[in-house]
């Protein structure tokens, strides 16, 4: 306890946490939330590209080097950070769930963050960039919510002198699309708007991906999407400065999960969970880097704290800038059904170790998923696998079953390649990490401990397929979705 108090005092003196006096002021709060992007920014150590605007934001604020999402897919992640609650605690853990006839309702005491700001007199908005007048930006919440919690799509509609709580949603990694053709088109756009593209020979793929031309070109396009995002961040900061509100606005920059790739989005490896988090503005330490573990839901409590709004007792998020902040010793994540693909994974991560539990170990690592399987990078990976061009590490992606437990020593194995769950030298660590996860699931009321109700699954699948048909999607894609749905039913009946 004495050591913890000493740490917090040191953080306060350094400006890494907020003083009580700073909390009395009511700044504007702006969240910049980016889709499908890992921490590939130069201030995070990326060397293939430069990102001067995010770097500039980090220089005038605090950069968190160990920030993690609690869900590696957008709707579950967004349902979590907009409430400051684990998605598993509020029943929003299945991707794009509650969209059909069966609905998901928040527990009565849970109030979305924008509503809390609105009740405190803030103007609330959610938009995109450039601002589309009258059109709200991406929300994608899995529960029923009242659109009146947003006053508009942009803070320009506020009363004179009224503080704002605003979100700007950016497409991020989605800019490159899912095919090699769309990636090349985006590269041409980047060449036109940014003046250059990322050289292919600058790309360095993680060791679990093969050096295949399609993957290299896609990754270069992804890095160009990072550069494009950085450009937009600069435009947003310029707008705040031109309007004379930059100094009275706290800016949060974060992504909703990692890169959309075979081992990233939808999975519990760091490629899918580790995200950038930069906070800059009044009440925030300037030019600092924090390496303590934080969760993306913490932006909810931290924003309320900066605004001097009481943080509800029910909220699981923590105010990571408060003088009373107690640092986390572990972060947690969950992956459940994504579109038609049923899955059930949980993880706990400390600074050194990652533990993943696969509750459906008889299923393949890369289960059929129409959304991902049509991507050029997945097609290229499968072709390389069938042609025998993958080494043992890369071939793990195509294992027909999964280990029930995975344990990784992140200090010595940052790419999470060597599973130590069966290593007797790490039996004690395995027990400890398994115990941490069990306690978290119990204490947070993990609603994913039982299977998704059949009525909810069928309701969401009916809407999913119906929407594809209304939009006149590729008949082959619709057929693949329907086949996958039937396969999920079959595997469930087989106890697989």
E strand map for 315-358: 331-335, 345-349, 353-358
Report how far residue 399's alpha carbon sits from residue 104's, in angstroms, rounded to the nearest whole number: 35
Beta bridge partners of 169: 33
The DSSP letter of residue 43 is G
Which two three-digit tokens encode residue 259? 């890169």
Per-residue pLDDT at 270: 98
Per-residue pLDDT at 133: 85
The sign of the dihedral angle between the CA atoms of 283, 350, 70, 43 is positive
Which pLDDT tens digit goes with each residue over 321-332?
A: 999 999 999 999
- Give the closest residue to 141 by CA, choosing from 120, 169, 117, 177: 169
Per-residue pLDDT at 106: 98
The sign of the dihedral angle between the CA atoms of 186, 190, 196, 200 is negative
- Best CATH choice for the domain 2-330 from the list 3.40.630.30, 3.40.980.10, 3.40.720.10, 3.30.565.10: 3.40.720.10
Beta bridge partners of 346: 334, 357
Report how far residue 357's alpha carbon sits from residue 140's, in angstroms, rounded to the nearest whole number: 27
* SS3 state at 465: helix
Which pLDDT tens digit goes with each residue over 235-279?
A: 999 999 999 999 999 999 999 999 999 999 999 999 999 999 999
- Give the closest residue to 334 by CA, choosing from 357, 350, 352, 314: 357
Asked if 260 and 34 count as a contact pair (C-beta separation under 8 A), the reply is no
Write out the DSSP string of 149-207.
G--BSSGGGSPTT--EEEEEEE-GGGGG-SSHHHHHHHHHHHHHHHS----GGG----T
CA 265 to chain centre: 8
Which two three-digit tokens encode residue 188? 């041409």
Report how far residue 48's alpha carbon sits from residue 223's, in angstroms, rounded to the nearest whole number: 8
| Rg, Å, the chain Cα set | 22
Q: Average pLDDT of the chain?
A: 95
DSSP H helices, 387-453, are: 392-395, 427-443
Domain boundaries along the sequence of the chain:
2-330, 334-493
Report how far residue 405's alpha carbon sits from residue 358's, in angstroms, rounded to the nearest whole number: 6
pLDDT above 80: residue 8: no
Report how far residue 345's alpha carbon sits from residue 340's, in angstroms, rounded to the nearest whole number: 16
Report how far residue 120's alpha carbon sits from residue 307's, in angstroms, rounded to the nearest whole number: 9
* SS3 state at 364: coil
Give CATH for domain 334-493. 3.30.1120.10
Lowest mean pLDDT among 54-58, 130-134, 177-181, 253-257: 130-134
Lowest mean pLDDT among 18-27, 253-262, 314-323, 437-446: 18-27
């Amino acid at each position: 306890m004495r050591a913890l108090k000493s740490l917090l005092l040191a953080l306060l003196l350094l400006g890494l946490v907020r003083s009580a006096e700073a909390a009395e002021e009511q700044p504007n709060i702006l969240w910049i939330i980016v889709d499908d992007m890992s921490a590939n920014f130069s201030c995070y150590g990326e060397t293939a590209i430069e990102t001067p605007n995010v770097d500039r934001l980090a220089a005038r604020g605090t950069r968190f080097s160990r920030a993690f999402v609690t869900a590696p897919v957008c709707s579950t992640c967004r349902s979590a950070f907009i409430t400051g609650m684990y998605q598993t605690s509020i029943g929003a853990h299945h991707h794009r769930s509650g969209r059909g006839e069966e609905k998901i309702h928040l527990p009565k005491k849970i109030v979305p963050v924008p509503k809390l700001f609105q009740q405190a007199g803030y103007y609330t908005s959610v938009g995109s960039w450039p601002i589309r007048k009258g059109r709200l930006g991406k929300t994608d919440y899995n529960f029923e919510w009242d659109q009146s919690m947003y006053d508009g799509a942009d803070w320009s509609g506020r009363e004179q002198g009224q503080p704002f709580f605003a979100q700007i949603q950016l497409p991020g990694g989605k800019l490159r699309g899912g095919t090699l053709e769309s990636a090349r088109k985006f590269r041409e756009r980047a060449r036109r708007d940014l003046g250059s593209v990322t050289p292919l020979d600058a790309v360095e793929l993680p060791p679990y991906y093969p050096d295949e031309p399609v993957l290299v070109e896609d990754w270069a396009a992804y890095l160009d999407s990072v550069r494009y995002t950085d450009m937009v961040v600069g435009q947003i900061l310029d707008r705040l400065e031109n309007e004379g509100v930059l100094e009275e606005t706290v800016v949060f920059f974060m992504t909703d999960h990692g890169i959309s790739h075979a081992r990233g989005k939808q999975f519990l490896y760091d490629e899918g969970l580790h995200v950038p988090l930069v906070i800059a503005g009044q009440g925030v330490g300037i030019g600092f880097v924090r390496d303590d573990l934080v969760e993306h839901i913490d932006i909810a409590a931290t924003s309320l704290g900066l605004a001097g709004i009481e943080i509800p007792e029910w909220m699981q998020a923590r105010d990571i800038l408060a003088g009373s902040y107690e640092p986390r010793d572990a972060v947690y994540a969950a992956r459940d059904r994504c579109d038609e693909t049923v899955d059930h994974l949980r993880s706990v991560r400390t600074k050194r170790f990652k533990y993943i539990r696969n509750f459906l170990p008889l299923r393949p690592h890369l289960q059929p998923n129409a959304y991902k399987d049509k991507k050029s990078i997945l097609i290229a990976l499968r072709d390389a696998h069938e042609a025998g061009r993958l080494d043992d590490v890369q071939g793990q992606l195509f294992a027909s079953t999964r280990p029930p437990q995975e344990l990784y020593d992140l200090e010595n194995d940052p790419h999470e390649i060597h599973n130590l769950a069966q290593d007797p030298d790490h039996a004690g660590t395995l027990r400890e990490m398994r115990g941490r996860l069990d306690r978290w699931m119990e204490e947070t009321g993990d609603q994913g401990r039982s299977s998704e109700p059949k009525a909810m699954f069928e309701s969401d699948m009916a809407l999913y397929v119906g929407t594809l048909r209304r939009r006149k999607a590729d008949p082959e894609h619709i057929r693949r979705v329907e086949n996958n749905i039937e396969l999920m039913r079959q595997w469930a009946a087989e106890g697989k």
